[in-house]
Amino acid sequence: MIDSAAAPLSGRVVLVTGASSGIGRLASRELARRGARVTLLVRDPQRGESTRAWIEATGGLESPEILLCDLSDLEQVHRAAEEFRRRHSRLDVLVNNAGVLQRRRRLSSQGHEWTLAVNHLGPFLLTLSLADLIPSGGRIVNLASVAHTRGRFDFEDMTLEDGYSMWDAYARSKLANVLFTYELARRLAPRRIDVNALHPGTLPTGIARGHSRVASWLWKIVTRFSGRVEEGSDAVVRLAGDPELEGTTGRYFYKMSKAESSPQSHDRRLQAELWSWSLKAVGLTEESMFL
């Protein structure tokens, strides 16, 4: 585990999505152990309560709050953002950790491809809805993946109606995470808010939960020797609070180190096109954003 002194987070208000399992669960506990006031954004209330009890029992300095939201449903994201704003006047750190890998093609309540809805559009809307609460020196951490290197966009078929592959859908959503990180980092630079993307490693998290036995078995084989979930959690905590990273923004990290993302992720035209498409998809305009 990282040295707690490396992440002085006492009193900081932190929101973690996908906080009831895997990296999000562990990171939430470590952030709470360092004195952060953590809000767990979760879809399942029972798992959320279980996580809160676990954090309280294992050393969290403050009891976390729970915020219920299914990130695939943009109406729920709106409501969650409004509820957070009622509870808090600021947000020091936002960790967009939640992610899914969807075996079969599925559409969200608003008609978006489900993987992209959960992994990109929900976090996109949540971030822009809360951005004005983030003070100078605040941080946004977007969980991405090395899978982004395989991502491709066809803006004429964003629902993947013309052929669906769960790995292609996942890779596209992770490329969206990196493109969003770079575009947002430029826009928030005048406010001195740090925005970075993190590939935590191919770790044995619960992302393959609910898949076929074969798919789950293959995921276990792939991740068996790739590292521990704690490594991803430690990287999240470092990006959230390490003083040495103050002012580091618009970067892609692999675990604890800066790394290079794909050439495509640096395409400014693609970043702008995805930004514009995403604004329209979530019902925002440039004038309505809280930036």
Question: Mind listing the pLDDT tens digit for each residue in 40-53?
Answer: 999 999 999 999 99
Q: Is the pLDDT of residue 206 over 70?
A: no
Identify whether 201 is part of a domain: yes
For the entire predicted model, the pTM comes to 0.91
Identify whether 289 is part of a domain: no
Strand order in the sheet with 194-199: 65-68, 37-42, 13-17, 93-96, 139-143, 194-199, 251-254, 257-259
Q: What is the DSSP letter of 135?
A: P
With cut-offs at 50, 70 and 90, classify the pLDDT of residue 132.
very high
CATH of the domain at 184: 3.40.50.720
Q: Cα–Cα distances in Å, from 86 out to 11, 79, 80, 138?
A: 18, 11, 10, 19
**What pLDDT is stored for residue 288 in this prediction?**
79
**What pLDDT is stored for residue 213 in this prediction?**
55
d(CA 168, CA 134): 33
Q: How far is Cα of residue 274 from the mean position of the Cα atoms in its chain?
A: 17
Average pLDDT over residues 194-209: 73
With cut-offs at 50, 70 and 90, classify the pLDDT of residue 223.
very low
The H or E element spanning position 251 is: strand 251-254
**What pLDDT is stored for residue 208 in this prediction?**
47
Identify whether 2 is part of a domain: no
Q: Is 182 labeled as catalytic in the residue annotation?
A: no
Contact 207, 22 (CB under 8 A): yes
Cβ count within 10 A of residue 80 = 25
With cut-offs at 50, 70 and 90, classify the pLDDT of residue 241.
very high
Question: Mind listing the pLDDT tens digit for each residue in 84-117?
Answer: 999 999 999 999 999 999 999 999 999 999 999 9
**What pLDDT is stored for residue 8 in this prediction?**
73
Number of structural domains the chain divides into = 1
Which residue segment(s) compose the domain that 204 sits in? Answer: 8-284
d(CA 202, CA 155): 28
Identify whether 1 is part of a domain: no
Identify whether 162 is part of a domain: yes
Q: Is the pLDDT of residue 82 over 50?
A: yes
Identify whether 204 is part of a domain: yes
Average pLDDT over residues 237-259: 96
Identify whether 15 is part of a domain: yes
Phi and psi at residue 143, to the nearest 5°:
-75, 115
**From 170, 182, 252, 254, the catalytic residue:** 170
Identify whether 56 is part of a domain: yes
Question: Mind listing the pLDDT tens digit for each residue in 139-194?
Answer: 999 999 999 999 999 999 999 999 999 999 999 999 999 999 999 999 999 999 99
